Amino acid sequence: MGEYARSTLGLGADRRKPLTFYEESKMKAFVRCVLIGIALVGLPALAQSATDSKTEILLQKIKADKKFLVASNMGLTDDEGKKFWPLYDEYQKELEQVNQSIGKTIQEYADAFNKGPVPNDQAKKLMNDVLAIEDKEGNLKRHYADKIGQVLPAAKTARYIQIETKIRALVKAELAKEIPLVY
């Protein structure tokens, strides 16, 4: 990624320094967009075709912003990029399925929560669903870390996994703030 892209996003600076307030604000704004995207992808279609096209445009923008954030921080050579980006796209496609599972489980929990206290059998099912999703996500991360590690040096592979992990952790933290405890 060129100097222009690094300076435009403001996140390609020397990473030995902690994020500035400005950089943190950009990351938080990105996370909010991703949350909206997860909610829109994961929840059943509730709208007409006009709204569906707006949703699709928003999702495409979120994906492009995330890709730009990754590109700005990876420092890939042209040769590395040719090998990395197809794997990145594969991984994102598989993460979409995880996001849809998360959205479905959140919707199931919201439906149960809105009816009053969540029955034990339903709480257990939801808990098992969440744990299965986390296992799938962890296995997927390991699988792609191994695949990416075959085409990038270990430090760049670790950096990508770190970026992906940070983004997903921020998204999950925001989701957790919004989801009430089971009663």
In a domain, 97, yes or no: yes
pLDDT tens profile 96-112: 999 999 999 999 999 99
Domain total of the chain: 1
> Between residues 145 and 114, which one has the greater pLDDT?
145
The Cα 136–Cα 98 span in angstroms is 8
Please report how many Cα atoms fall inside a 13 Å half-sphere around the Cα of residue 178, on the Cβ side.
Answer: 14
Q: Which of 19, 9, 57, 21 is nearest to 36 (CA)?
A: 57
Residue ranges making up the domain that contains 101? 3-178
Instruction: Kindly state whether residue 183 falls inside one of the protein's structural domains.
Output: no
Residue 107 inside a domain? The answer is yes
Residue 168 falls inside a structural domain: yes
**Residues 18/40, Cβ–Cβ less than 8 Å:** no
pTM: 0.71
- Tens-digit pLDDT profile for residues 147-169: 999 999 999 999 999 999 999 99
